[in-house]
Amino acid sequence: MAHALSAEQIHKALQGISVPPQPQIMVDLQMEQVMPNPDLQAIARLISQDPGLSGALLKIVNSPFFGLANRIASIQQAVNLLGCDTVINLINAQSIKGELSDEAIVTLNRFWDSAQDVAMTCLTLAKRIGYQSADEAYTLGLFHNCGIPLMIKRFPDFMTVLEEAYYSAGSELRVVDSENRLLNTNHAVVGYFTAKSWNLPQHLCEAIASHHDALAIFSDDSGRDAQLKTLLAILKMAEHICASHRVLGNQAEDHEWQSIEQLVLEYVGLSDYDFEHLRESIRELGRV
pLDDT tens for each residue of 147-162: 999 899 889 899 999 9
Residue 15: what pLDDT? 60
Here the CATH number for the domain that contains residue 124 is: 1.10.3210.10
Domain span holding position 108: 102-284
Statement: residue 118 has pLDDT above 90: yes
Same domain for 108 and 77: no
Statement: residue 5 has pLDDT above 60: no
Contact present, 176 and 165 (Cβ < 8 Å): yes
Cα separation, 110 vs 21, whole angstroms: 13
Which range among 54-68, 187-201, 218-232 shows the weakest confidence by mean pLDDT? Answer: 54-68
Statement: residue 9 has pLDDT above 70: no
* Residue 199 CB neighbour total at 10 angstroms: 20
Residue 1: what pLDDT? 42
Cα separation, 193 vs 177, whole angstroms: 18
Contact present, 150 and 109 (Cβ < 8 Å): no
DSSP state letter for 212: T
Same domain for 132 and 170: yes
Q: Which of 48, 67, 95 is the last residue of a domain?
A: 95
The reported pTM is: 0.85
Same domain for 166 and 49: no
Cα separation, 169 vs 171, whole angstroms: 7
DSSP for 9-65 reads HHHHHT-S---PPPHHHHHHHHHHHTSSS--HHHHHHHHTT-HHHHHHHHHHHTSTT
Residue 34 lies in a domain: yes
**Helix or strand (DSSP H, E) at 135:** helix 134-143
Which range among 1-10, 71-80, 190-199, 261-270 shows the weakest confidence by mean pLDDT? Answer: 1-10
Tally of domains within the chain: 2
Statement: residue 109 has pLDDT above 80: yes
Q: Which of 95, 117, 141 is the last residue of a domain?
A: 95
Instruction: Name residues whose C-beta falls within 8 Å of residue 61's C-beta, 6 or more positions apart in sequence.
Output: 68, 72, 77, 78, 81, 82
Contact present, 154 and 87 (Cβ < 8 Å): no
Same domain for 150 and 54: no
Q: What is the pLDDT of residues 236-268, one digit of tens each?
A: 999 999 999 999 999 999 999 999 999 999 999
Cα separation, 92 vs 26, whole angstroms: 9
Closest CA to 146 of 79, 56, 63: 56
Residue 12: what pLDDT? 60
* 3-state secondary structure string across 65-83: CCCCCCCCCCHHHHHHHHH
